[in-house]
Structure 1
Amino acid sequence: MTKMNAKGAKGREREKSESLSLRSNTNLFSLLCPWRPSLRLCVFAVLSLLGCGPAGEPVAPGNIGVAGATSRAPIPASQRPDVDRSFPLDYDALPHLVTTSITPADMSAGIAMIRAQNGVDQARVGGNLLVEIELGNSRTFTAEPLEPSSDATQKPNGCVPRPGTSPVAWEGFSLASWTDLFIDYVRFEGTYDFDTCTAKPTRFARVRAPAVVPGVAYAFRTCVPVCTSVPAPGSREELLVIVGPPAKWVGATVPWPSMQTNPHVGLFSRIIVPLKRGGSASTFFHVAEPDLQAFLARRRTKTGRSLDVPSAPLIQLSFDFSWPEGDPSPVGIGFAGVVPGAPGSSGATSVYDFSDDVVEAALATP
């Protein structure tokens, strides 16, 4: 009986100690985070001070605990960027991409796939657009013009007919109206006919997307599927879309594995992150100077102003939004920074072929 009482007393002392520790940690959390930042940032700060953060000395790579194991070289990664400037983001000012009726002018924005002499399919688009085309499991970017034809049923030169049809979508923005302050972003949906190698739109959506970094990056909101009208604020989960130059590296709070392993990056970047009341959305991307300059060279309307981004071989643009449960709309902030350690880009050219986008793999027969 005495041993049991002693054991019980020790248990009560341990529970009391744990309770005091919990209250102490809770008070520490309140003291460290009185401004109520995002939970994960504050938890990280608290755990670091409590000694639960990362170890001070890095562990050498290799097979730990195996005698005689040789170390493997660490995976190279970009260094943490140096923030050059920050800027506010007005989420309420971002318009929605919504469907609208198709006009005769919009019908000219069809697409075609032609077989080049090297045996690889090439994409063509009408309407003076820079677009991303998604057809089945294939994805490509192009701005190459579609040759006009008086006969809508005529096969384009280079068409290799195949039986079958497939749903297709293509979206992007007008090169003719692209300015520092906005882009005219459009999305088309239709059916691709493998016999004629062409597709005409049957559904159309449009938005004038304002710049979040003038001349470089633009943003808008959308739904899945694309909304027919602007939804009420906070009534449903929205998708934040950032459009910018081709990215070397993309990071985003994206819950869909397909967008993490196969991001929408080609002749431009299209980054999509979900956001709803009580949540947050964050994304960043790294842009190399040659890719930025090649991207800007596609503009039909030139600008004399300097860009609102650092001049460096590799820059980072990041966008963070938070939507507190009790607030009517999200708050946001953006950052532009320099990624240190990147090699110089003097005389370098973009890795993207902006003169003629070639589909890397021929489209599979349906």
Structure 2
Amino acid sequence: MSSQSHKMAGPHPLSALTAACNASSVTKAGIAGCEEIELTGRFSEQMAQLCMSYDYSDVTFIVEDEKLPAHRVILAARSEYFRALLYGGLSESTQHEIHLKIPLKAFKALLKYIYSGSMSLSQMKEENILDTLGLANQYGFTDLEMAISDYLRQVLSLNNVCAILDAAKLFGLEGLTNVCHSFLDRNAGEILQHETFRTLSEDSICSLLLRDSFFAPEVQIFQAVYDWCKCNADGRSVDNVVSKVRFSLMTLEQLLGVVRPSGILDPDHLLDAIAEKTASTQLPYRGALWPEENVACNKFNSKIIQGEVRSEAGGKSDECAPVPQGRVESAGFWYGHEPERGHRRWLRSWHHPGLQRFEAVGRGERADGSGASE
């Protein structure tokens, strides 16, 4: 399109904006004598009208064979990446058409954000949101990247947490990664049986399996990993992921009846797991923390094995009123109350093999003071 055709495309958007400013200036000055004029809403509206419009455009992006007109100065003003691309002396600085190998829908959403400063995530599919997050990361839109991350934290579910974790780790979003890990810790049993678990990247699944707080029977973890391996045939990836399974936490029956028939673990490693299980007193247990939860009470079927029962000041319901002083045992828990040290010590000890020891003191710290995994 020639420059002349551009000129005849219609009144310049800035003309309308100037008229609106003048009108508002007169109104404000006449009513309150205000010297400050704020028309940011109208300004954004006028700018948004230029998005993907050929009016006054001087560059065209070609994405998935679709042409998207744009304006160099606006892109450069909004992004250092586009400033370097369009004005940094690269070949694109003189090209009228630039090909980009990126998702079309995500790029359109990004362009609308560049021109208007807004984006409606609730109207977008999750896959497009993740693609847009990737573009925000690539092109340096940090505020948008953080805003999308905050939104994804609010909509985490079993259906999308694996895809969000992959994206968070890929783009180095530590905060979002931690939120995903915590969600997966709380829903370990469910996610292991969910079909999306098999779509996790090698990096994501390894980081998950390394967490002491990813708490589920190890045989269930192995079965989910085995399914993942069947969908990801890369030998090196399979070996790396399988090595993160804690085989020594399984029973001999599980090792011989489940792991051995799978053929995924060579005989030497299987024997090593059996030897570690029978000889070691420091197995790599998994566990879960219940901060501020009194497990030494009737609802957990606790019983006194040492010391005596007393009531806390103020009293509580009969369900949790008895507070043992000394040591108690409960169905699946060990709990010790140490009033002279000003804190309680508890341990969740499931009867499942491999889920037997995980101590914590106070607000989420290990009994040895080393700190607990998230």
Q: Same fold (TM over 0.5)?
A: no
- Shorter chain as denominator, the TM-score bin is under 0.3
Higher strand share: 1
> Which has a greater percent of helix?
2
Instruction: Please say which structure displays the higher CA radius of gyration.
Output: 2
Higher relative contact order (CA 8 A, sep 6+): 1
> Normalising by the residue count of structure 2, what TM-score does the alignment of the two structures yield?
0.20
TM-score, normalised with respect to structure 1: 0.21
